[in-house]
């Protein structure tokens, strides 16, 4: 058997390590074809090694100072190049946004979490990207910088299809803004995977619940599903079942069924469409029960 050399596996490419956003724009302008942004490289290098892509130019974003977690008047700002480990370990995230610390700590393995970034997880736009559903239910938004300046996009609208986002040519995700959780609220992300160890989500369900002042009625609720459609999606009909109502087991069953109906899962090597749909129903009901316990009773 003839062994492939490193060069056969990954073709030569130009490597740039810019120190500022204008410098990134200059490089992108000079290398319009075949250039790829790289943060931690955990997805990008896999795609290069499996020959899904063959970049002519790789632009490393790690020198841009985009790894930070900052308190803001209206929540938290997390730089796009913040690693998954930095998020899981951050006291500020644990205090203000514990669902993101918990989500990141369940992803991948220790070494990948030290390299992989929040921005990379979102921009890679895998349907099973774990950070997307919780950010969607938290109402987070993405700060994007491009040749024409900056714009803000809700994370809910960021991922559009496998490997596709709303980012236009030359645009870079620079920051995620997470609004504060209102009083009497909580959020949870439940991930179902095939084994106990490192694995992608077969299904992921995130829920954020806000109770009213009396603590008896559901003032607001957001439910997002991962790995059951080309991009993470909101289960709006399920939310409507619960919003404004007392949280009873019967309504949880109804909402979970609506969430199942919202899913558009596929059958692949990891699981059948029917199995995934059933998991959506189970995880949604479990997430609602957990949150009721935590927010109302707890």
Ligand X SMILES: Cc1cc2nc3c(=O)[nH]c(=O)nc-3n(C[C@H](O)[C@H](O)[C@H](O)COP(=O)(O)OP(=O)(O)OC[C@H]3O[C@@H](n4cnc5c(N)ncnc54)[C@H](O)[C@@H]3O)c2cc1C
Q: Which residues contact ligand X (rule: CB under 6 A)?
A: 36-44, 46, 61, 80, 84, 107-108, 112, 115-117, 119-121, 123-124, 128-130, 167, 172-173, 198, 200
Q: What's the min distance (Å) between Cβ of 246 and ligand X? A: 35
Q: What's the min distance (Å) between Cβ of 21 and ligand X? A: 11
Nearer to ligand X, 61 or 224 (CB): 61
Nearer to ligand X, 61 or 262 (CB): 61
Token readout for 193 is 């995977």
Q: What's the min distance (Å) between Cβ of 125 and ligand X? A: 8
Q: What's the min distance (Å) between Cβ of 278 and ligand X? A: 21
Nearer to ligand X, 167 or 206 (CB): 167
CA distance linking residue 199 with residue 118, whole number of Å: 17
- Residue number with the smallest Cβ distance to ligand X: 120
Contact call for residues 149 and 60 (beta carbons, < 8 A):
no
Nearer to ligand X, 175 or 239 (CB): 175
Label each residue of the chain as H, E or C: CCCCCHHHHCCCCEEECCCCHHHHHHHHHHCCCCEEEECCCCCHHHHHHCCCCCCCEEEECHHHCCCCEEEECCEEEEECCCEHHHHHHCHHHHHHCHHHHHHHHCCCCHHHHHHCEHHHHHHCCCCCCCCHHHHHHCCCEEEEEECCEEEEEEHHHCEEECCEECCCCCCEEEEEEECCCCCCEEEEEEEECCCCCCCCCCEEEEEEEEECCCCCEEEEEEEEEECCCCCCEECHHHHHHHCCCECCHHHHHHHHHHHHHHCCCCCECCECHHHHHHHHHHHHHHHHHHHHHHHHHC
Nearer to ligand X, 100 or 288 (CB): 100
Q: What's the min distance (Å) between Cβ of 212 and ligand X? A: 34
Residues in CB range of 55: below 8 A, 6 or more apart: 13, 34, 35, 36, 48
Nearer to ligand X, 37 or 207 (CB): 37
Nearer to ligand X, 67 or 281 (CB): 67
CB atoms within 10 A of CB 26: 13
Nearer to ligand X, 123 or 263 (CB): 123
Q: What's the min distance (Å) between Cβ of 163 and ligand X? A: 8
Q: What's the min distance (Å) between Cβ of 255 and ligand X? A: 25
Q: What's the min distance (Å) between Cβ of 122 and ligand X? A: 8
């Amino acid at each position: 058997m003839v062994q492939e050399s490193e060069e056969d596996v990954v073709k030569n490419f130009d490597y740039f390590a810019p120190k500022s956003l204008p410098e990134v724009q200059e490089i992108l302008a000079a290398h319009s074809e075949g250039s790829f942004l790289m943060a931690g490289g955990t997805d990008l290098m896999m795609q290069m090694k499996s020959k899904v892509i063959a970049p002519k130019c790789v632009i490393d974003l790690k020198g841009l100072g985009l790894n930070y977690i900052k308190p803001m008047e209206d929540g938290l700002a997390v730089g796009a190049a913040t690693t998954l480990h930095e998020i899981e370990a951050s006291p500020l995230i644990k205090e203000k946004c514990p669902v993101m610390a918990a989500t990141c700590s369940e992803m991948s393995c220790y070494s990948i979490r030290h390299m992989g970034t929040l921005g990379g997880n979102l921009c890679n736009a895998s349907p099973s990207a774990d950070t997307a559903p919780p950010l969607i239910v938290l109402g987070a938004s993405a700060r994007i910088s491009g040749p024409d300046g900056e714009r803000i996009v809700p994370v809910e609208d960021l991922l559009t299809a496998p490997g596709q986002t709303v980012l236009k040519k030359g645009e870079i995700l620079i920051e995620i803004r997470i609004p504060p959780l209102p009083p009497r609220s909580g959020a949870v992300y439940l991930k179902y995977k095939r084994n106990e160890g490192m694995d992608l989500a077969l299904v992921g369900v995130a829920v954020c619940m806000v109770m009213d002042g009396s603590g008896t009625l559901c003032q607001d609720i957001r439910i997002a599903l991962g790995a059951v459609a080309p991009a993470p999606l909101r289960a709006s009909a399920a939310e409507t079942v619960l919003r404004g109502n007392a949280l009873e087991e019967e309504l949880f069953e109804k909402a979970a069924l609506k969430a199942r109906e919202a899913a558009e899962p596929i059958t692949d090597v990891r699981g059948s469409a029917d199995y995934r749909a059933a998991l959506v129903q189970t995880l949604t009901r479990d997430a609602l029960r957990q949150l009721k316990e935590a927010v109302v009773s707890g």
